[in-house]
A and B are shown apart, each in its own frame.
Chain A
Amino acid sequence: MAFKNIRIITDSTCDIPADLLEQHKIGVAPCFINYGGNSYADDGVQLTREQYYKDLRHIRPVPKTSAFPPGIAEQLLDEAFQEAEHVVILCVPAKLSGVYNAFRLGASNFPSEKVTLIDSGQVAMALGWQVLIAAETAEATGDVAQVLDAIKRVRANQRLYAALDTLEYLMHSGRVGWASASIGALLQIKPILDVQDGEVKQYARVRTFKRAFEALVDLAHQQAPLDRLGILHTDNEQGAQDLREALKDIVPENTLILNITPTIGTHIGPGGLGIATVSQSWKA
């Protein structure tokens, strides 16, 4: 079978660092963050993460996020098809966002046999790992079927857990039913989220961040041995470094520490900490 030039396109919730995006020629459609009457593209230019998370503690009402227009998806596909013979689009779950739909509409003017649109069921670097491994597989094999198979196996062997410093932002986001239902709860909690198949579940609720941190360490160890690890935080660099230290017995070499994208961070709130793991078993 002929080697195909395959490109991957994703959205800005994926958290992949710019150098890796460039290396793998991955196209990224930016989501938008809206507050104070303005709309900012989540492209790392209009909003810097450091400044945004400092501001987020004070911006009220809490900012909203929105998908990009289909035109942006169409533009990205146009660019990709300058060289590519096939495009795989991996995006944030349709259950949580309008991104999937924007891609679907944007792709409607392209021949369907050349575009594969996949709801990744994941967000942040968990989506990022699917995208990166898909790109690596495409470069190595030039085979769409093998790329899709790799994505499927990664998905079955990956986990995303996040400990929130506060439930406030998730309650106001409105995208997660159980969190909205917690409005009016008496006791403050630190929820630990477990994202799977587009569902944001509550793995546990604890009272202190120390307990949440310990839970993340446990959860990461349950997934070892790891092929990939992303340590995610929202303006909590120290927490991320501490977590890396606590996981030093299992961290893979290519571990990424990421101050996550404002599109996701808006729903998490500042001070959060998370892990996006891919177990070595995905290769089997």
Chain B
Amino acid sequence: MAMTRAQFRENGNLICDGYLLKDLAVGGVQWLERNKEQVNQLNVFPVPDGDTGTNMLLTMRGAFGQIADIEEPHVGRLSKAFADGALRHARGNSGVILSQIWAGVARALDGHELLDASSVADACVSAVDWAYRAVEKPVEGTILTVSRDIKDAVVQKTEKQHDLVSILKTMVFAGRSSLRRTPDMLPLLKKAGVVDSGGQGLVFILEGMLRALCGKDISLVDVAVPILGQQAETWQEALVPEDEEGYGYDVQFLMHGRDMDVAKVRTDINAMGWSTLVVGDSNLIKVHVHVHNPAEPLNYAISSGADIDDVVVENMHRQYEQYVQARADREGDVLTETEGVGVITVATGKGMKRLFAQELGAAYVITGGQTMNPSTGDFLAAIDKIPNNDIILLPNNKNVLLSARQAAEQEQHKQVRVVPSATVPQGIAAMFEYVNAANMEPPATLDDTTEMMTETLSQVVTGEITRATRDVEIDGLEVRAGQFIGLIDDVLKVAGNDLTQVARDLLRMADASRFERVTLYYGEGIGESDARAMVAILADSFPDLEFEVISGGQPLYPYIISIE
């Protein structure tokens, strides 16, 4: 009879069988899957290739694949199957270490029909032992440290407490707190302004298991990213490879054979490269090594007489370059020192960012918007980064509003308010009022400033021109893919093949003649002379309007138009 959560509770939360353990494994995999990008973002050690989350997830999925189709009430046998799957599908440094953690767990649980407090403690001790042994030269401030701190906490906790929910909670809390200490142990993390990615992955897995055990819905809840507050000024420098030849290749394969000597293989492989992980037994060995010449370890394995399998060779230097580029794109964020109330806003495009930061005095501009929605974590990180204690979040996009609201709710130490700007022109109008509030004597309070800024949002009408990505018919308006479309306050109003015609129709639909001023923020690919030529034509149709042309540099939208 399979144990459900209800039966688990009837047993005083003291014992768990294979069925329930499988549910927990599902929770761990799903939670990691949901948060894998966050883990990728943290990845700077040992190679900043941004794939730790992906590798750990592939490892976990492979492990789960081994138990997905079996009904196994026996905890020991289930763990063994899971660990075998992990070993077979382990990817990357963290994946291999993770597979060793499960191998250690499986070894400790061997023969156990049910899981209880003391077997959890034994499993942790064994897991940490295996994890440390998997690495030639253990480095502190990594998943190893996090796993050891979790083990220490569990061993202490289980001396008095036998409730499995409490024990799993202890694991999560110990993991999180250990994670926060990783930058103090590993200077590279501190320089790069992150916590250890592998450790974070492990914490996500345990959190998922805890959520499963408590019956929480895994798929909907969001969590904050624990990126550290103090942003490294020179994370790029911190990540430059020490080796002149670059980061080299990541080589992984399985060796099938008989009477193989794991210790000897480990020594030999280690001589060829670095970040060596060689684990397994006399019949099956998983090799992971970083080398400049991928042929060397492969030749070694083949000439040793073993069959090789699951060969993966990755060019880490290229991954590193891609990671740096991706992070640089994200880190186009702009921090400006401001006093009093500070505004954190969201913009994309050089001109837009400059406008918000330099002209309008935003304390922090997060790169993003329609195509790249900043997360709650991005807002929390920005809140942490600016010195201001009174903060207003200005999302400038309705898809970003929710993250901003959540960040405002989650922030513990600073006063945070949200001015719900849905468009960039609304954000600019609000920033004008922010400047006025800040220049008052004495400067307006946080709440007054929020109110003043919020009041301005309704005073501006936003027009946006972009291209349709597919054929569509909305309210009788037929649009073909590739045509220009015009939106007024986020509602599709006009379409056509001629940009100027669409702009003119859009101004008409917005009843622009009732207003005073039209500002065109021209985007990527549009020159100032293009914009001015268009304004000259528009001015003929709207002689009483004042027109203004500003370089926005935003992608995808040739024009963002403010009508006020």
Q: Which A residues fall within an 8 A CB radius of B?
A: 185-189, 202, 204-211
The answer to whether residues A204 and B516 also contact, given A187-B359, A187-B550, A211-B459 and a CB cut-off of 8 A, is no
Contacts of A207 in B (CB 8 A): 429, 432, 517, 564
Closest to A208 in B: B516
- For the complex, give the distance between the alpha carbons of A211 and B435 in Å: 15
Contact with A along B495-539 (1 / 0, CB 8 A): 000000000000000000001110100000000000000000000
Closest to B358 in A: A186
Q: How far is the CB of B515 from chain A (nearest CB, A)?
A: 8
Contacts of A185 in B (CB 8 A): 359
B11 at the interface (CB under 8 A from A): no
* A to B CB contacts below 8 Å, 6 in the list: A187-B548, A187-B550, A189-B432, A204-B439, A208-B564, A209-B516
Determine whether the beta carbon of A205 is less than 8 Å from that of B435: yes
B338 at the interface (CB under 8 A from A): no
B436 at the interface (CB under 8 A from A): yes
Q: Which of A202, A206, A209 has the most CB of B within 10 A?
A: A206
Contacts of A186 in B (CB 8 A): 354-355, 359, 550
Determine whether the beta carbon of B439 is less than 8 Å from that of A208: no
Contacts of B516 in A (CB 8 A): 208-210
Q: How far is the CB of A1 from chain B (nearest CB, A)?
A: 42
Q: How far is the CB of B544 from chain A (nearest CB, A)?
A: 12
- For the complex, give the distance between the alpha carbons of A204 and B439 in Å: 8
Q: Which B residues fall within an 8 A CB radius of A?
A: 354-355, 359, 428-429, 432, 435-436, 439, 459, 515-517, 519, 546, 548, 550, 564
Given contacts A186-B550, A187-B355, 14 further A-B contacts (CB under 8 A): A185-B359, A186-B354, A186-B359, A187-B548, A187-B550, A188-B517, A188-B548, A189-B432, A202-B439, A204-B436, A204-B439, A207-B564, A208-B564, A211-B459
- For the complex, give the distance between the alpha carbons of A139 and B550 in Å: 58
Q: How far is the CB of B39 from chain A (nearest CB, A)?
A: 40
Contacts of A189 in B (CB 8 A): 432
Q: How far is the CB of B270 from chain A (nearest CB, A)?
A: 59
- For the complex, give the distance between the alpha carbons of A205 and B439 in Å: 10
Q: How far is the CB of B362 from chain A (nearest CB, A)?
A: 14
- For the complex, give the distance between the alpha carbons of A205 and B433 in Å: 8
- For the complex, give the distance between the alpha carbons of A187 and B546 in Å: 12
- For the complex, give the distance between the alpha carbons of A204 and B456 in Å: 14
Determine whether the beta carbon of B550 is less than 8 Å from that of A208: no
Closest to B548 in A: A188
4 cross-chain pairs, A with B, having the tightest CB-CB distances, nearest first? A204-B436, A208-B516, A186-B359, A208-B517
- For the complex, give the distance between the alpha carbons of A206 and B429 in Å: 9
Contacts of B550 in A (CB 8 A): 186-187
- For the complex, give the distance between the alpha carbons of A257 and B458 in Å: 33
Q: How far is the CB of B540 from chain A (nearest CB, A)?
A: 21
Q: How far is the CB of B495 from chain A (nearest CB, A)?
A: 29
Contacts of A210 in B (CB 8 A): 516
- For the complex, give the distance between the alpha carbons of A19 and B359 in Å: 47
Determine whether the beta carbon of B355 is less than 8 Å from that of A205: no
Determine whether the beta carbon of A205 is less than 8 Å from that of B359: no
Contacts of B459 in A (CB 8 A): 211
- For the complex, give the distance between the alpha carbons of A262 and B519 in Å: 31
- For the complex, give the distance between the alpha carbons of A185 and B550 in Å: 11
Contacts of A209 in B (CB 8 A): 516
Contacts of B355 in A (CB 8 A): 186-187
- For the complex, give the distance between the alpha carbons of A206 and B460 in Å: 12
- For the complex, give the distance between the alpha carbons of A38 and B243 in Å: 74
Closest to A204 in B: B436
- For the complex, give the distance between the alpha carbons of A211 and B550 in Å: 21
Q: How far is the CB of B539 from chain A (nearest CB, A)?
A: 15
Contacts of A208 in B (CB 8 A): 515-517, 564
- For the complex, give the distance between the alpha carbons of A202 and B428 in Å: 19
- For the complex, give the distance between the alpha carbons of A177 and B8 in Å: 75
Closest to B516 in A: A208
Contacts of A206 in B (CB 8 A): 432, 436
Q: How far is the CB of B560 from chain A (nearest CB, A)?
A: 14
Contacts of B429 in A (CB 8 A): 207
Q: How far is the CB of B412 from chain A (nearest CB, A)?
A: 34
Determine whether the beta carbon of B564 is less than 8 Å from that of A205: no
- For the complex, give the distance between the alpha carbons of A161 and B490 in Å: 38
Contacts of A188 in B (CB 8 A): 517, 546, 548
Contacts of B564 in A (CB 8 A): 207-208
- For the complex, give the distance between the alpha carbons of A210 and B515 in Å: 9
Contacts of B428 in A (CB 8 A): 187
Q: How far is the CB of B50 from chain A (nearest CB, A)?
A: 36
- For the complex, give the distance between the alpha carbons of A229 and B519 in Å: 36
Closest to B460 in A: A207
- For the complex, give the distance between the alpha carbons of A202 and B440 in Å: 9
